[in-house]
Chain A
Amino acid sequence: MLESAWGWYIIAYLFLAGAGAGAFISAVACDLLAPDWSKSLARAGSLASGPLVAIGTACLVLDLEAGLWEPWRQIYLVANSSSMITWGVVILSGFIPIAFVYAAALNEITIVGKIAKKYLIYLEIVGAVLAVATAGYTGVLIAVVNGVPFWNTPLMPVLFMASAMSTGLAVAMIGAAIIDISTIRTLSNFALGHVIFLAVEGLVLGLLIFMSLTKSVEAADSAKMLISGALSPYFWILVVIVGLLVPFVMSIVEYHEYGEMPKILVVGADLLVLIGGMSLRAVIIFSGTPPHIV
């Protein structure tokens, strides 16, 4: 495996921020489109969103060194508008509080929630925009790095966005099953969401690999590391089979059977999507190869 300046903290951040943002979008979509029968899913999504993104951001801070030991240095993080980290700090600072307030409003937690409930639609609009920004930004963060040709493609934010949607929906569905197991039947409606998001994710991932093989020597090195090199067992087993193919097929069956699939399999498919989402970030970060310079 290649030496990478970024490790598991950054990988965890990319995953958690994506899943949290996706959970928020799932919650908003459920609340706006089907408020009567998808209440537990909207509630679960909103409750998970803020904490997930906040934990992810904590990982980001833990990865800092001088900025962790001398936290006042973090004030400088918004100094350079051409840096995606500066943009990320602004987006996260807006999204995290809104996600918490939204969870309070939707679940009517404390007086804050009761007041915020009056402005629910505004929280949903602003929050959804910031959620899309959060999920997309995790991809843009690495897509603008021209020191790693494999990452340096506009496909990267699209891939991260698709993965954020499928992992976020998975989080919301698991949460809904925890909150109210009797809603497991209605969860079958959302299996269609998984089918769509996983299909897009698989398609974009395939495109990324194929384009990288012909883009440059270094991008091809990274792609080969995934399909036949050091990372290939993780890529094929964890990302492709466990994270994409199996949950894709299970979601089709789930949608088709409509509520007749065993509960363990419904939640199981969602857990696999989460394993796949985390593994996807890990193999992408670890396969980053710098340009050959001499």
Chain B
Amino acid sequence: MPRYGIAIDTTKCIGCQACRVACQNQNNLPVTEEFNRIVERERGTYPAFGKEFVPLQCNHCENAPCQRVCPTGATYTTEEGVVLVNPKTCVGCKYCVQACPYRMRVMDHAKGIVEKCRLCVELVRDGGTPACVSTCPTQVRIFGDLDDPKSEISRFIAEHRAQPLRPDLNTKPKIFYKRS
């Protein structure tokens, strides 16, 4: 079984928001709801300074706090390591929204349940890649199997020593970042 993850090269990101729109399109989300977003950040001080765009989405943590606190067991991890929410058993208690240190869970007040990035499992299982990955004009994201040492993502992470965001929180995220 593969163990899917995404590597993100923020040095390539131009902040065009195509990934966010592609995701909303793929998941039939209204414009007000998003499973991924781009945070703009200024780095350094004048004259050595610049702007960094950091695309964010669910980290599909191996030690997922959202899954631990979910009382109904609606949040679960598939064999491929994708963290999903079962829409039939979620009660909308929002405990997971509070527990996620990355704040990547969204309350859908129309459906009354919590939703999030699903790593486009339906596309992935058909041999494709998530919409945010395939749509990116500057190829910021690399999708693949973290357990395959020959995969593009594994080689990219090894070569650039890519790290997850806030590894100290010990949730073992599967989204890795190369930031300089």
B interface, over-half SS: loop
Interface size range of chain A in the complex: 20 to 34
Residues of chain B within 8 A of A142, CB atoms compared:
98
Cβ-defined partner of A148 (8 Å) among B98, B112, B165? B98
Stretch from A79-87, A166-174, A223-231, A233-241 that touches the partner:
A79-87
* Residue contact A83 to B69, C-beta cutoff 8 Å: yes
Interface size range of chain B in the complex: 35 or more
A5 within 8 A of B: yes
Q: For the complex, what is the distance from the CA of A145 to the CA of B88, rounded to whole Å?
A: 24
Contacts A65-B112, A65-B113, A67-B92 given: A5-B98 contact, CB under 8 Å? yes
* Residue contact B101 to A146, C-beta cutoff 8 Å: yes
A64 within 8 A of B: yes
Cβ-defined partner of B165 (8 Å) among A4, A85, A293? A293
Cβ-defined partner of B73 (8 Å) among A69, A74, A79, A89? A79
Cβ-defined partner of B97 (8 Å) among A5, A79, A86? A5
* Residue contact B107 to A68, C-beta cutoff 8 Å: no
B155 within 8 A of A: no
Residues of chain A within 8 A of B111, CB atoms compared:
66
Q: For the complex, what is the distance from the CA of A288 to the CA of B111, rounded to whole Å?
A: 26
A-facing mask of B152-169, CB < 8 A → 1, else 0? 000000000000011001
* Residue contact B71 to A89, C-beta cutoff 8 Å: yes
Whole-angstrom distance between the Cβ of B164 and the nearest chain A Cβ: 10
B178 within 8 A of A: no
Cβ-defined partner of A66 (8 Å) among B69, B71, B90, B95? B90
B132 within 8 A of A: no
* Residue contact B92 to A68, C-beta cutoff 8 Å: yes
Whole-angstrom distance between the Cβ of A61 and the nearest chain B Cβ: 9
Residues of chain A within 8 A of B125, CB atoms compared:
none
B-facing mask of A248-269, CB < 8 A → 1, else 0? 0000000000000000000000
A-facing mask of B39-56, CB < 8 A → 1, else 0? 101000000000000101
* Residue contact B69 to A6, C-beta cutoff 8 Å: no
Q: For the complex, what is the distance from the CA of A145 to the CA of B100, rounded to whole Å?
A: 8
Residues of chain A within 8 A of B102, CB atoms compared:
290-291, 293
A129 within 8 A of B: no
Residues of chain B within 8 A of A66, CB atoms compared:
90-92, 111-113
Q: For the complex, what is the distance from the CA of A249 to the CA of B85, rounded to whole Å?
A: 51
* Residue contact B107 to A147, C-beta cutoff 8 Å: no
B26 within 8 A of A: no
* Residue contact A63 to B112, C-beta cutoff 8 Å: no
* Residue contact B99 to A147, C-beta cutoff 8 Å: yes
List 19 additional A-B contacts (Cβ < 8 Å) besides A5-B98, A147-B100, A290-B103: A5-B94, A6-B98, A65-B91, A65-B113, A66-B90, A67-B91, A69-B112, A76-B74, A76-B89, A77-B71, A78-B71, A79-B71, A80-B70, A85-B69, A142-B98, A145-B69, A291-B169, A293-B165, A293-B166
What is B's interface to A at a CB cutoff of 8 Å? 39, 41, 54, 56, 65, 68-74, 88-95, 97-103, 107, 109, 111-113, 165-166, 169
What is A's interface to B at a CB cutoff of 8 Å? 4-6, 63-69, 73-74, 76-80, 82-86, 89, 142, 144-148, 288, 290-291, 293-294
Identify 16 residue pairs between A and B in the complex whose beta-carbon atoms are under 8 Å apart, listed by A's number. Answer: A4-B98, A5-B97, A5-B107, A65-B112, A66-B90, A66-B112, A67-B90, A68-B91, A73-B88, A73-B89, A76-B91, A83-B71, A85-B95, A147-B99, A293-B102, A294-B39
What 10 A-B pairs come out closest when comparing CB atoms?
A67-B91, A65-B92, A65-B112, A66-B112, A76-B72, A85-B71, A5-B97, A79-B73, A5-B94, A83-B71
